[in-house]
Amino acid sequence: MGAAYFYHLTRRPLEETLPVLLDKALSAGWRVAVRGVDPARMDWLDARLWHGPEEGFLPHGRAGGPHDARQPVLLTTGTDCPNGAACVMTVDGAEVSVEEVHRLERVCILFDGNDPASVEVARGQWRALTGAGAAAQYWSEASGKWQKKAEA
């Protein structure tokens, strides 16, 4: 049984935080699906992951290609995980189900703490998931380093 980890981004933007979390997930031996809601935003994120520092290259691809099953990190707007992901990372308020939290090793929900609408969506997801019995942790970087602030 997995857990949902909520990451409240306040100091570093998504394109800086996501590669760090992806690297940790890959180091754990997990395949990852990064789920968003807007295909254009996923294309933008794809470009940021390709154009990062050379020492930080993350092998990844966009869903819908012939090699989805082989991708260590798959960027998608769908709810399926053709790459056999053990971890799903959601961005921009993408939905996640309690069944996924129970089935996967980890679900990471990244949200922009400088956007009140994103914070409200994340709060609703926290209530829905923990209310349905999913384990969850809330992490904040407000102090300058990641700290666990709550656990359910």
The runs of H, that is alpha helices, within 56-145 are 98-103, 116-131
The neighbour count for residue 48, using CB atoms within 10 Å, is 15
Question: What pLDDT, on a 0 to 100 scale, did the predictor assign at position 41?
Answer: 95
- The C-alpha atoms of residue 83 and residue 74 are separated, in whole angstroms, by 7
Q: Domain spans of the chain? A: 3-151
The topology under which CATH files domain 3-151 is Rossmann fold (3.40.50)
User: 82 φ, ψ to 5°?
Assistant: -65, -15
Per-residue pLDDT of the chain (152 residues; tens, 9 = 90+): 799 999 999 999 999 999 999 999 999 999 999 999 999 999 999 988 876 555 556 788 899 988 999 999 999 999 999 999 999 999 999 999 999 999 999 999 999 999 999 999 999 999 999 999 999 999 999 888 999 999 99
- The C-alpha atoms of residue 49 and residue 126 are separated, in whole angstroms, by 28
CB 135 within 8 A of CB 4: yes
The three-point CA angle 41-11-140 to 5° equals 100
The neighbour count for residue 146, using CB atoms within 10 Å, is 16
Type of residue numbered 12 = R
Q: Please give the share of the chain, as a percent, with pLDDT higher than 90.
A: 85
Give the CA dihedral 73, 74, 76, 81, nearest 10 degrees.
-100
